[in-house]
Amino acid sequence: MEGASSRQQVAETEKATFFTKEELSKLKSNFETGGVDKIKSLINQKVSELDSTQLNIAVTGETGAGKSTFINAMRGLRNNDDGAAKVGLTETTMEPAGFPHPNFSNVCYWDLPGIGSTKFPADKYLKQMKFEKYNFFIIISAGRFKENETKLAKEIKRLRKKFYFVRSKIDADFDSMRKGGKEVNEEKELKLIRNNCCENLREAGIQTPSVFLISSFEQDRYDFNRLNKALEDDLPIIMKSIFVLAYRNRSVEIIQKKKKMLQKRIWMLATLSGAVGATPIPGLSAACDISILIGAITHFRKCLCLDEASLQRLAKTTDKSVEELKAVVKTSLLGEINTNIIVRLGWGATAVALSALEFGLYSIPVIGSIFGAGSSFLMTYKILTNALEDLTESAERVMKFAFGIN
């Protein structure tokens, strides 16, 4: 019981701060002996880790199963968009091809050549693909379960890598049934397909297979959202943060998840911004690092899909103009972020009592102590908290307008 309690405590600590229990202990020790200046390098290192950790996702399966279309869907792109994975009726992938997320280059989907083609027979495929470089695998299948998919599952299991089995083109299957004159009970058919996939995977030695039935074109139906949730839940905390922030905004729930991830950065950025060496911002009494504030707000905007490139992509996929999308935004943070904007945000922050208890962070070692380190920390924290709240509300308004959600 004690071990389980300890593991839960570590998990809760990481969930709240991105730091392990041991890392927080080191921060606390350094802070007590040298103040904020002594913990700057440790916090800088963690912020750098959040921005640079690589997440490599391999998408594999037989030729024509819909791998490229799936990759494009996960990246929020249509098949004919610039930078989209090439889609064709014949084998289009000759070697592993990396497709970075359009907003986060450290999140990369790898389109592996289709197993079973004449160029990549199954008996050589597994040796050529260098499976060890990927964090996890998604096996895409279409139609009946095939022998090559069994071989893939066995090899990935042997390498002790996590994989998810995705049965694609469910919408096309049902359309084909209806065109053939069959009356389709989707719930019953989905159960039959799922059971068949699970049965075949269990015969291959996968005792608890993860099976998802999806349509890459109808992401709000079937298991597409459940797949994303499973991928998110199985990742370690840093990679989970990266994966969540790379989501396409399709619901209030997704936007709120992003907000929670970004909130965990704010105390670190406030510590860095308010540390020794910061200079006063004209119009504010607190000494803050203007570049950190501007960089953080710009990053928040990109993560919440409010940057210009994200709005352009959203406009293309929803038949709304960028001007229409921007018209529903009620924040001044979509334009250039400069000193004048920061000063206005600071004036808003001073109108609210700056209390450590307000943020509920005294329960976490180190952070509660830093709150007493000076007004610059509190001012930066409040400015970024207000900015994130503002941008989150704007992201929700844009998403609801774009997809016609009331």
DSSP codes, 22-79: HHHHHHHHHHHHHHHHHHHHHHHHHHHHHHH--EEEEEEEBTTSSHHHHHHHHTT--T
Can you give the pLDDT at residue 6? Answer: 44
Q: pLDDT for 382-394, tens place per residue?
A: 889 989 999 999 9
Distance CA 99, CA 110 (A): 6
Whole-structure pTM value: 0.85
Residues 211 and 91 in one domain: yes
CATH code: domain of residue 59: 3.40.50.300
The number of residues in the chain equals 406
Cα 375–chain centre separation? 33
**What phi-psi label fits residue 57: left (phi over 0), alpha (psi between -120 and 50 degrees) or beta?**
beta
Distance CA 318, CA 253 (A): 20
Residues 220 and 349 in one domain: no
User: With 50 as the cut, is the pLDDT of residue 3 above it?
Assistant: no
In a domain, 192, yes or no: yes
Residues 20 and 62 in one domain: no
Can you give the pLDDT at residue 397? Answer: 95
Say if CB 341 and CB 332 are below 8 A apart. yes
Q: pLDDT for 287-313, tens place per residue?
A: 677 888 899 999 999 999 999 999 999
CA torsion, points 171, 174, 179, 182, in degrees to nearest 10? -170
Residues 61 and 40 in one domain: no
Name the burial class of residue 376, with classes exposed (0-12), middle (13-18) and buried (19+) by CB atoms within 10 angstroms of its CB: buried
Query: What is the percent of the chain with per-residue pLDDT over 70, rounded to a whole number?
Result: 81
Can you give the pLDDT at residue 365? Answer: 56
Say if CB 168 and CB 66 are below 8 A apart. yes
At 36, list the tokens: 């904020």
Q: pLDDT for 67-124, tens place per residue?
A: 999 999 999 888 888 888 888 655 555 778 899 999 999 999 999 887 765 566 655 6
Residues 24 and 71 in one domain: no
Mean pLDDT of the chain: 82
Residues 209 and 333 in one domain: no
Can you give the pLDDT at residue 207? Answer: 86
Residues 331 and 370 in one domain: yes
Of 181, 209, 243, the domain-final residue: 243
Average pLDDT score over residue span 311-327: 91
Residues 206 and 80 in one domain: yes
When divided into structural domains, the chain yields a total of 2
Average pLDDT score over residue span 221-226: 93
Average pLDDT score over residue span 169-193: 87
Name the burial class of residue 243, with classes exposed (0-12), middle (13-18) and buried (19+) by CB atoms within 10 angstroms of its CB: buried
In a domain, 108, yes or no: yes
Can you give the pLDDT at residue 126? Answer: 64
Say if CB 60 and CB 129 are below 8 A apart. yes
Q: pLDDT for 244-296, tens place per residue?
A: 999 999 899 999 999 999 998 988 888 887 664 556 666 665 667 788 889 99
Bridge-based pairing of strands 107-111 and 97-100 is antiparallel
Residues 21 and 154 in one domain: no
Residue (of 62, 58, 80) closest to 71 by Cα position: 58
Say if CB 108 and CB 56 are below 8 A apart. yes
In a domain, 389, yes or no: yes
Residues 155 and 220 in one domain: yes
Can you give the pLDDT at residue 323? Answer: 93
Residues 289 and 149 in one domain: no
Can you give the pLDDT at residue 119? Answer: 66
Report which DSSP code applies to 251: S
Residues 41 and 61 in one domain: no
Q: pLDDT for 128-145, tens place per residue?
A: 777 778 899 999 998 888
User: With 50 as the cut, is the pLDDT of residue 1 above it?
Assistant: no
Of 189, 218, 243, the domain-final residue: 243
Q: pLDDT for 200-210, tens place per residue?
A: 899 888 888 88
Read off the pLDDT band of 373 (50, 70, 90): low
Specify the higher pLDDT residue, 265 or 330. Answer: 265
Task: Print the domain residue range for 45.
Answer: 2-51+253-403
Residue (of 144, 138, 141, 121) closest to 62 by Cα position: 141
In a domain, 248, yes or no: no
